[in-house]
Structure 1
Amino acid sequence: MVVKNVFEPETAQDFWKQMVAAHGLEDAQQKYLEFGKIFGHFLHQHTTQGAVKLVGAFAQTDFLLREHEVQPSLRKAVNEARIRFRKAGSGELSMDVLRENAPYDFKAICLFIGLVEGTPVPPEVEKLFPTNRPQRTLKVPEAEYLRVLVSKVDNDNIYGQIETEPLEVVICYSHGNTIYNFDWTYLRQQLHCGSQINIIRPRLYDDILYPELIIVEPDYLVDISAIAACFESYAHSPLIYLLNKIRPMETTEAILLGNLAGQLLDEAVHSEGEGQPYTESVQQFFKGNAINLLAANISPNFHENAIKQKHNIHKAIKADMPQQLKEYRQRDVMLEPSFFSEMLGLQGRMDFLQLDQKVLIEQKSGKGGWPQPDPNTPVHQEKHYVQMLLYMALLRYNYREQYDRNNHHLSAFLLYSRYPNSLLGMSFAPQLLFEALKIRNGIACNELHFAEGGLKVLDTLTPEQLNERQASGTLWERYQRPQIEALLRPIHNASPLERMYYFRFLTFIANEHVLSKFGNRTKENSGFASAWHASLNEKRQAGNIYDRLQLLSPSVNDSPRPVTRLVLGFSEHADNDMSNFRLNDVVVLYPYEPEQEPDLRRTMVFRCSIEQVSADRITLVLRAPQTDANVFLRDADKHWAIEHDFIESSYSSLYRGMHAFLSAPQERRDLLLLQREPAIDTSLQLCGDYENFNELALRVKQAQDFFLIIGPPGTGKTSFGLMTTLHEALLTPDASILLLSYTNRAVDEICSKLVDEKLNFIRIGNELSCPEVYRPYLLSSAVGECSRLEQVKERIMSGRIFVGTTTALNTSLSLFRLKSFDLAIIDEASQILEPHLMGLLSAVKDNATAIRKFVFIGDHKQLPAVVQQHSEESRVHESALNDILLTDCRLSLFERLLKRYRERPEVVFMLKRQGRMHHDIADFPNRAFYGGQLTEVPLEHQQQPLPEAAPHADFFKKIFTTQRIAFIAAPQPPKSPSDKVNQTEADLIAEAVVKIYELTGSSFDVVHTVGIIVPYRNQIATIRNTLDRYGIPALHDITIDTVERYQGSQRDYILYGFTIQQYYQLNFLTDTVFEEDGALIDRKLNVAMTRARKHLLLFGNPDLLTAVPTFKELLEYTQAHGAYFNPSADLSDYKNIYSI
């Protein structure tokens, strides 16, 4: 059972106190940043409990204003303040404007706080209010588009408020559209009070707005190619989008030929003259697609067709385009530029775009439309035309300035590379574009509905219902209809329990998907939409942007060559400890004018991975290499920004995995739904000798379906649990084993064990996520040594150990069409949600499970999976699912199976000997979280006595020479810029680190000696800056991070700063607490304490911490052991701490 203590949130008095303090600041810019921060936190606190998804401050403010029936004058004033907070956070307003409006905005927000909290504003706050300001006349701003929050809809008009002015507007949608004069009445069914829309290029006539286009829920970006795929001959329907999400990923010869043709297009653009020979092209393709090529069983005609496509592409790019278009410039081209258009609610990437946006090419390797009068010249397919129209609309609307500079000239081509005369020019088609955006709006509305349980439409959906256009004939009867029936059949044939399980997790995934775009309730400025809803200051505070970057490489001095890497320099003011970026993260890079706010919506973006980060620069690897450095050098004088990318495909494997479950063999489905007992074969005996781990090895071997290994901190779950199981499995001739984990870091650790023991293996994944030392083991490296597919197949079939992340394997399911596995050992299993494993556990080879048996290794008492949803959203209410112990979708399959079988030693084993923590450090977490079951190995450092303290030792030296664990009471900071910044604790921690550095002397090691754990990135930067003031270079590079990033790590000394200054922050510190056997298990505290080998210091405010039972117990424990220190109570001890 999850235990959630809801600690008292901040009260009206707290917020007024903060507003008054901010109001007293001299600097108007700083004052507004504080106002904005307080206002944002107030909105977040009061909009996290409802079921409505509120995207951004605009929607949150409107919700509270309506909910509390705020008077129009205050409603207007609050919205004016909200708009100024947003603009001030981005530096858009002058100091004079800020100074003039500050008193009125202060008054508006203080009154708003009182109304929402139901408490009158106190006199001492009220006396600071200015007199009422003169009313100003508002008018609808002239803009390319306006965001509108809908209040009501009738048969002709939409009524709502615009985001950028506190102004109510009326929008006519039923008539008066001069360009798209079609039937917009479908909006009546899609819109409701609280919906958000973008109205594009609105014109004002008689106080009514007439837009060209209306985009529903524009924060839900829909991929253009996915919209185009909804145009089938039997229907133009957003339901096709749903079917495509659950449709198994196909690996066909046609798809592979298309992928190769895409590579050939890139090569044609990159190359001079004839380009590289086909044999080199196909060898490169072969290296990255070997499994799929084998699984597709390609025909002898594959290479002949590919060579024709190479020739046709070369002809189109090198001959036809230059002849047909005088404005064509091959060197001034972006390959696979990506875009995010909040204006149109679209995202995606183009194949080929000229830098001046005058030429656009989209390649298609398959057949054109029908009928086709000339066999050498294609006609377009409707879905391909739709895709091009949406790209053209993007250039026409989203990038309007460039479109105007081009005098509205855009040459758009479909390149059907199957045909000699491959280029088809595309023109504007208003009605088809209208239909495409209607589909887009339908998809967005459906996705929000599906996140709330609407996916059960699949339960009754039939091909006849989908056949809106009454298709008949061979295509429908022999292909389309049977394919739809086959896709829906597993749902219709499933048992009631299977169907319930399927729909509950499908809804959970859909909600996670929506929240990843819109943002969740537990974290401010989360979700991809924060890229445009959050101000620059908010992004910096959240660590979600690197801005003010300078392009260092490529440079004008570099020799001409395709650009694969970029190097950018940080500004001297960059505070990179605040960043939320890590190596191998996928990010987007884009330029912006120095005087503007960085905004990824304004320009095409480059998708990259972070390869290296140092103090002064960052190196990125482009996902799509560019032909010419001019793509970047033309913007060399601009600033550059990096933000997190959103990978839509990361959810695709989850939808497909759940659908695969319904087609898994019945015995596997029954096992996962606890409808049958796991099989045990006690006749089996060990082939090897594993000393202390023989009992574990034997139990695992005898278990025929699955086994659970519980690995508490420091017990060697990889070294002993995983490796012992692997060694015994390898003693069975021809056995194949799959080793999986959730994170690349854990996979790296597995690889290190295999290398140490000289075991050969194949790693599934890409080079970017694999350290150089393990790259020779990658599948692509193994393929590089082969010249024929038969050799690759032999290499794969003879391979016995395959390693990778669950994500990597979920995107390589074709492997199971070639090979089955006797055993999968899945590390970090307690951090992996059920849908992440379902595609793997449901994989089939020759009508049997592709993975015969699985072993989960994990510890449910350490950190769980990161989930967007609140417990109220993820809780499972269906009694039949509760009966199989599915009570919360946020829990792992490991944990659900453990609940059922924890008392069954034949399928569960707990490792109990830990070799990390000194006994004194392990004592509290062992008793509090593991029932005293853990013992030391013991290793030398676990028994080492402490030296005697010198008589006049200073404060921290006395602690380090007398205690293994200590709590240092940190007084409340007298003044703090944020609740997430605690300078008092930072000073104490920095002093302690310096003392550790002095005590360890020449043995000090940046990587192994000391680590600091804090809950907030803001505090990371504060501690780093405080440490730097000591001027000791070695201390700058020690790891300061959150507990989530520390799981799996260890240090000799761990310093854990609780940081919090307000009671409400206890919610965040305790959000992973659950109850087991009457004991409260605090997973964050458990992980933080058990990272330490020799010394553990805890810093915090005892007055706040004792409100939590586990923290109170911890403080009482330190007091009982003489390890509770209050430096402020003894100035002689404390005098050294602020000496710098």
Structure 2
Amino acid sequence: MKNIDKQIGELLFDRILETTENKSLKPKEKIPKYRSILDDLFKALTVDAKQYISGLNARSIYIFNEYETPKNIVDNTHALRKFANQVVHETEFQPTELDDKKSVYQLAEVISHFSKEAIPLKIIEYYQSSIDEITKKTAFKRPSLPTYDLYAVIEDVFIPFGEIEGKFCVLTCNTDSLGVIKLKLWNNKNENGFGSDLSVFGKIVEPYQNIYVTNVKQYKDKEEEFFTTDKSYVVLEPDYLIDAKELSECRQFNNKSFGKYEDNPLLYILNRFTKGEITDRIMVGNIVGKMLDDLVTDENYNYKSSFETVMRENSFGMLCIANEKGEYDRSKIQAIFIEANDHEKQLKQIIQNYKGKEIILEPTFISNKYGLQGRLDMLIDYGSESQQKDIIELKSSKNYPGTNIGLYLNHEAQTMCYDLLISSTYPNRIGYNSILYSSAPIEEKPLRNVDAGEKYLSKQELLMLRNRIVSSELKLARGIYEPFLEILSETFGPYPKFLEDLVVEFKSTIENLDETLKSYFFGFLKFIYRELQVAKIGSNDSYNKSNGYAELWKASKSDKIENYDVLIYLKVKEISDDFHIKLSLDKNIFSSVVNVSSFRIGDTAILYPTPNPDEIHPLKSQILKCYVVSVDANSIEISLINKQLNKNYFTNSQYWALDRDFRETGYKQLLQLLYEFLKSEKRVTDLVLGLSRPQFDNSIEIPKNGLDEVQYENVKNAVRAKDYYLIQGPPGTGKTSKVLVEIVRNLANPNNDIMVVAFTNRAVDEICEKLLSLKINCIRLGKGDKTYYWSDLSGRLKLDELNEIIQKNNVYVSTISTFANSLDILKFKKFETLIIDEASQVLEPQIIGFLKHFKKWIFIGDENQLPAVVVQSINDSKCDDAILNDLSLKNFRESLFYRLKKNAIKRSWTDCYGTLKFQYRMHADIAEFPKKEFYKNVLEESNDSQRTKIVDQSNFDSNPINQLFTKSRIVFVPSKIDLRSKINNEEAKLVAESIKHIADVYGEDFDPSKTVGVITPFRAQIANIRNHLDHKFQDITIDTVERFQGSERKIIIVSFAVKSTTQLGAIQSLNDEGIDRKLNVAITRAKDHLILIGSEDVLIKDRTFKKLIEFIKEKNGYLLNPLKVKSVPTDLF
């Protein structure tokens, strides 16, 4: 039998009590919380499952089938899940008090069974008075309908053999509405090969996977047997979204039969590894798209203006084309200008055809039925009185199909996918689907109709193509490489002719890898696909979100609010011309529910209407992708990605919701860079793998320029390096402000162009400011309003002027993600040196693909501070390959910086790495613990001011809070465990009172950005602390430790807000030496005072926390909460 840990059981029971004892909650609000607890139970039960199981239903079925489970536990689980789903999805449905008690009974019974823990008496008392009604049996009644659309979990697959092989397959499906059924999927092809074969799905699907199927019928004489029809759609894991355009590119002409097509799902995988070349064809397409946008939205449309906008926004691409032959040639750009202008007449005519209708440009839609997402070019809306919506897809290729062919098959497939998307969002939609070949003359009918409405066969095959892609990607995430290896086979195809060279190169590159590179490639291949899977649909890891991006449509409103994933009851306050939208919080309804602090500047998000704010249905309208520009206590400002929206759209709803977004491009980028690395010369691959020792030119000397002796030695070694050098910079040692800028100052010259990259925008901002303060000119890649930003330069200067500046400038600075999106610069600009700051926060595949473009690399980081962000569990990312272990690669989640350093230590290459020694930030009393625990006593204070005694603050003795600052530099205050998870009110009150006291002490010298900062691991506690703070302190940074790395405050307050040892894993990040990197960063942000608040009973269960608390006790810093200690007036005696 499968059991969970006793502590998890206790925690789950505590969460039930937390809900039942909250008198402000109604049954409608309580029951979704019970479902969330049930979900976490089965996540804990399936955490070790060999395959990922998506969703509560699938997880519970897996446990019940794999481990013998009593019928009453099975029934209680399914009954609670189904009922909770009804409560969540049926807005008008109001559950009763009895329903609430029944749900608690069912949940408690299930938890008790799997934890072997007795149900707490308080919980039993909650439902005991109604136990007779609760335990009444109700008979299951299967509904009777002509056809059924249903979601199901697969329990078993039967594929027949012999004479009936290939005619059908049978799936044993567990459904909510029909119970367990047998579903027969037929091969509907006739003797001429016409019709669809749904039976192949049996070879794709696996037990415990989820499916969605439509138009299912029941056999008349067999109650539990159903079958698909010629109008049935079958979808594997519908929450796993596939892009419509990328899917359609897998539909290719069948060379053996004119007009026929063949679907090749492996093209989708191959295309993930390749980045399309910038060509004049792509640039013309961008310009034609912009022309269309401006013709629709700008009354003062001017072609030259549209062209200039595209040229400035795609300046790297334009410079690539202009420098194609090694020197700048403006005639290439002139040719693009002329060719794109030829499309204008056709575009104007089409727009004229739809005069009086609303033309919606570039709307984005998601379907969680068909597992598709896509952005259309145009959607023609005929108004609220009509269900008609026409789809128009723009194709600007010069090679358009003649009228005898009509449509290219991949274009037709793309439009059919859009038809599925629109019908999923607007079920009653009618309308036409068309493709606009804008290069075709008017007389050749550039607007071509796509008869998608009744083309069930083509759509069935498109969805089956999608299913094969999903199956392949999920296999790769488990390390099953057959789908990838099929690309290398001789039978791979069909594929378009323009990919022929790429296919040959790809096969040759992979097939010629030596054993080491092969292990490296396939290890990271699995790791990246696993990351993609977790980001899309989640993992079994209970510390992660259960559904990945699918939380957008799967999570209930109450769960989203509890996890601070959504802002609701937002009203549109202002809309600027460039679609910066200010949204205000309706304070009367909203302020007590959630806090705006859950979203931060730069976060990507999704905005959608909520006409009834008690319901949130993000997929019932187009998705508005955006990013957060500014946040304050009463409002949030976002910037839309799609600037072509009609402002009238925002009059359709009084209230709006802001949800979290997910961008898949980063994962594709990882695969592209991994493949680019394989194509590197042997010198590069050997250095990266740690097989070759880096070389140095020890004849080079440099000036000291105010560096301390250890900084000087490390800068000198970095300058002398011919291949690479690694610098570890513990907290406050000046690794960026001093060491990095001095390396740049010593290396930058007309013959040595430098690219400096860092993981965060904050680090890049600091680097640019430091360089400019030293009169070192630099250009920052990306968007910004300062004069050294590339976006500002490209917005002001002509293309030939940009070309001249880019060739003359020696120093470039960028975030790693922006640089990875700007690699076209390397086609017309040669660099010598790459400097990577925050190198310990960067995954290997994020950088290895562009190392070959630089002669030498300098890594600056600290393996004892925050690592790279990875969403899969540490066990899933572990490396068990002996070849890679020998290269010091033990876990794929670690940075290249850390691995190369471990490898160098192992091989005694002591000259290729160094560690900074003198720290300039922390008082010695604060630095003492991390110095011993994390840095083997290497750190030293740089000056005597870091050893001064605590300043006398006797004027404030009457305030009990004052003792937190007069007893010791580092203080621990034990707190009582709060009933709620991720929230602690006692800690929040103490934080708020401490800040108030600090402000009083500092008076006019109090600076919210420098004096004090608050670190806490949970968004719920961030919001809780803010809700306790006076409004005048809202500018103080209260955030997770991730947002604090690289910054410092005079006083740091840490609120741990943990209630059980199971939460410790969520607030820690241990490296393979056992160093808690999150704790290290948290306590090393403080200059003068460090205050830690948390449950001692929980924290001391961890070795490092126990050591820390014992250390603080030795330093006289262990203090009881001053707000709770009764005091006696000092003047009484």
**Structure-1-length-normalised TM-score:** 0.89
Q: State the distance in 1 between where 2:372 and 2:194 align.
A: 19
2:935 corresponding residue in structure 1: 930
Helix, strand or coil at the partner of 1:777: coil
**Which of 520, 535, 546 matches 2:556?**
535
Correspondences of 1:100-119 after superposition (within 5 Å): 100-118=98-116
1:655 corresponding residue in structure 2: 671
Per-residue CA shift, 1:564-603, capped at 9, x if unaligned?
2322222211455475422122222111221552122211
| In the alignment, structure 1 residue 225 sits paired with structure 2 residue 237 | no
1:811 partner amino acid? N
User: Do the aligned residues in 2 keep the contact of 1:761 with 1:802 (CA within 8 Å)?
Assistant: yes
Bigger mean CA offset, 342-351 vs 254-263: 254-263
User: Do the aligned residues in 2 keep the contact of 1:308 with 1:418 (CA within 8 Å)?
Assistant: no
Helix, strand or coil at the partner of 1:185: helix
2:681 partner amino acid? P
Pairwise CA distance, 1:891: 0.4
1:762 partner amino acid? I
User: Do the aligned residues in 2 keep the contact of 1:83 with 1:165 (CA within 8 Å)?
Assistant: no
1:845 corresponding residue in structure 2: none
Correspondences of 1:653-802 after superposition (within 5 Å): 653-686=669-702, 689-692=705-708, 693-730=711-748, 732-767=749-784, 772=785, 775-787=786-798, 789-802=799-812
| In the alignment, structure 1 residue 1099 sits paired with structure 2 residue 1099 | no
| In the alignment, structure 1 residue 1074 sits paired with structure 2 residue 1071 | yes
2:208 corresponding residue in structure 1: 194
CA 1:417 to 1:189, structure 2 compared with 1: closer, same or farther past 3 Å?
A: same
Per-residue CA shift, 1:864-921, capped at 9, x if unaligned?
1110111221111111111111110000000001102245442212111111111111
**Which of 148, 154, 161 matches 2:152?**
148
CA 1:454 to 1:712, structure 2 compared with 1: closer, same or farther past 3 Å?
A: same
User: Do the aligned residues in 1 keep the contact of 2:572 with 2:583 (CA within 8 Å)?
Assistant: yes
User: Do the aligned residues in 2 keep the contact of 1:569 with 1:616 (CA within 8 Å)?
Assistant: yes
Bigger mean CA offset, 905-914 vs 1008-1017: 905-914
Q: State the distance in 2 between where 1:1134 and 1:1056 align.
A: 29
**Which of 579, 598, 602 matches 1:564?**
579
Q: State the distance in 2 between where 1:1058 and 1:1122 align.
A: 21
Q: State the distance in 2 between where 1:108 and 1:68 align.
A: 19
Per-residue CA shift, 1:643-694, capped at 9, x if unaligned?
1222121111111100001111110011111121111111222267454243
1:607 corresponding residue in structure 2: 625
Helix, strand or coil at the partner of 2:777: coil
| In the alignment, structure 1 residue 839 sits paired with structure 2 residue 849 | yes
Pairwise CA distance, 1:228: 0.9
| In the alignment, structure 1 residue 803 sits paired with structure 2 residue 813 | yes
Q: State the distance in 1 between where 2:357 and 2:948 align.
A: 68
**Which of 360, 367, 377 matches 1:341?**
367
Q: State the distance in 2 between where 1:597 and 1:167 align.
A: 28
User: Do the aligned residues in 1 keep the contact of 2:628 with 2:636 (CA within 8 Å)?
Assistant: yes
Correspondences of 1:850-929 after superposition (within 5 Å): 850-902=853-905, 904-929=909-934
Helix, strand or coil at the partner of 1:819: coil
CA 1:733 to 1:191, structure 2 compared with 1: closer, same or farther past 3 Å?
A: closer
**Which of 424, 440, 443 matches 2:448?**
424
Identity value in percent:
28
Q: State the distance in 1 between where 2:291 and 2:947 align.
A: 60
CA 1:393 to 1:86, structure 2 compared with 1: closer, same or farther past 3 Å?
A: closer
Helix, strand or coil at the partner of 2:276: coil
CA 1:545 to 1:595, structure 2 compared with 1: closer, same or farther past 3 Å?
A: closer
CA 1:796 to 1:23, structure 2 compared with 1: closer, same or farther past 3 Å?
A: closer
Helix, strand or coil at the partner of 1:110: helix
| In the alignment, structure 1 residue 1002 sits paired with structure 2 residue 981 | no
1:228 partner amino acid? S
CA 1:145 to 1:799, structure 2 compared with 1: closer, same or farther past 3 Å?
A: farther
Correspondences of 1:1041-1056 after superposition (within 5 Å): 1041-1056=1039-1054
Bigger mean CA offset, 684-693 vs 185-194: 684-693
| In the alignment, structure 1 residue 258 sits paired with structure 2 residue 270 | no
1:630 corresponding residue in structure 2: 648
Per-residue CA shift, 1:513-542, capped at 9, x if unaligned?
111001131223451011122111111122
Pairwise CA distance, 1:809: 0.9
User: Is there any run of 5+ residues in structure 1 with no aligned partner, and where?
Assistant: 1-5, 843-849
CA 1:1055 to 1:600, structure 2 compared with 1: closer, same or farther past 3 Å?
A: same
CA 1:981 to 1:1125, structure 2 compared with 1: closer, same or farther past 3 Å?
A: same
1:62 corresponding residue in structure 2: 61
Q: State the distance in 2 between where 1:862 and 1:1007 align.
A: 22
Q: State the distance in 2 between where 1:996 and 1:384 align.
A: 64
Pairwise CA distance, 1:790: 3.5
User: Do the aligned residues in 1 keep the contact of 2:598 with 2:1023 (CA within 8 Å)?
Assistant: no
Pairwise CA distance, 1:307: 3.7
Q: State the distance in 2 between where 1:115 and 1:923 align.
A: 48
Q: State the distance in 2 between where 1:452 and 1:266 align.
A: 43
1:968 partner amino acid? V
CA 1:814 to 1:21, structure 2 compared with 1: closer, same or farther past 3 Å?
A: closer
Q: State the distance in 1 between where 2:112 and 2:393 align.
A: 56
Q: State the distance in 1 between where 2:594 and 2:724 align.
A: 44
User: Do the aligned residues in 1 keep the contact of 2:419 with 2:433 (CA within 8 Å)?
Assistant: no
User: Do the aligned residues in 1 keep the contact of 2:152 with 2:176 (CA within 8 Å)?
Assistant: no
Helix, strand or coil at the partner of 1:10: helix
CA 1:587 to 1:1006, structure 2 compared with 1: closer, same or farther past 3 Å?
A: same
CA 1:305 to 1:1057, structure 2 compared with 1: closer, same or farther past 3 Å?
A: closer
Per-residue CA shift, 1:620-642, capped at 9, x if unaligned?
22212125322332x143x2111
Which structure is richer in relative contact order (CA contacts within 8 A, separation 6 or more)?
1
Helix, strand or coil at the partner of 1:967: strand
Pairwise CA distance, 1:972: 3.2
User: Do the aligned residues in 1 keep the contact of 2:987 with 2:1093 (CA within 8 Å)?
Assistant: yes
CA 1:961 to 1:113, structure 2 compared with 1: closer, same or farther past 3 Å?
A: closer
Aligned CA RMSD, in angstroms, stands at: 3.0
Pairwise CA distance, 1:238: 0.5
**Structure-2-length-normalised TM-score:** 0.89
Q: State the distance in 1 between where 2:1003 and 2:499 align.
A: 73
Pairwise CA distance, 1:991: 2.2
User: Do the aligned residues in 1 keep the contact of 2:547 with 2:554 (CA within 8 Å)?
Assistant: no
Pairwise CA distance, 1:961: 2.4
Per-residue CA shift, 1:225-251, capped at 9, x if unaligned?
111111233652100111111124311
2:632 partner amino acid? S
**Which of 1109, 1118, 1124 matches 1:1115?**
1109
User: Do the aligned residues in 2 keep the contact of 1:587 with 1:642 (CA within 8 Å)?
Assistant: yes
User: Do the aligned residues in 1 keep the contact of 2:969 with 2:1090 (CA within 8 Å)?
Assistant: yes
1:358 corresponding residue in structure 2: 389
**Which of 536, 544, 549 matches 1:523?**
544
Bigger mean CA offset, 946-955 vs 495-504: 946-955
1:412 partner amino acid? S
User: Do the aligned residues in 2 keep the contact of 1:949 with 1:962 (CA within 8 Å)?
Assistant: no
1:847 corresponding residue in structure 2: none
Q: State the distance in 1 between where 2:377 and 2:682 align.
A: 43
User: Is there any run of 5+ residues in structure 2 with no aligned partner, and where?
Assistant: 160-167, 255-261, 383-387
User: Do the aligned residues in 1 keep the contact of 2:366 with 2:374 (CA within 8 Å)?
Assistant: yes
| In the alignment, structure 1 residue 135 sits paired with structure 2 residue 156 | no
CA 1:164 to 1:551, structure 2 compared with 1: closer, same or farther past 3 Å?
A: farther
Q: State the distance in 1 between where 2:974 and 2:450 align.
A: 71
1:240 corresponding residue in structure 2: 267
Q: State the distance in 2 between where 1:951 and 1:607 align.
A: 51
1:544 corresponding residue in structure 2: 565
2:530 corresponding residue in structure 1: 511
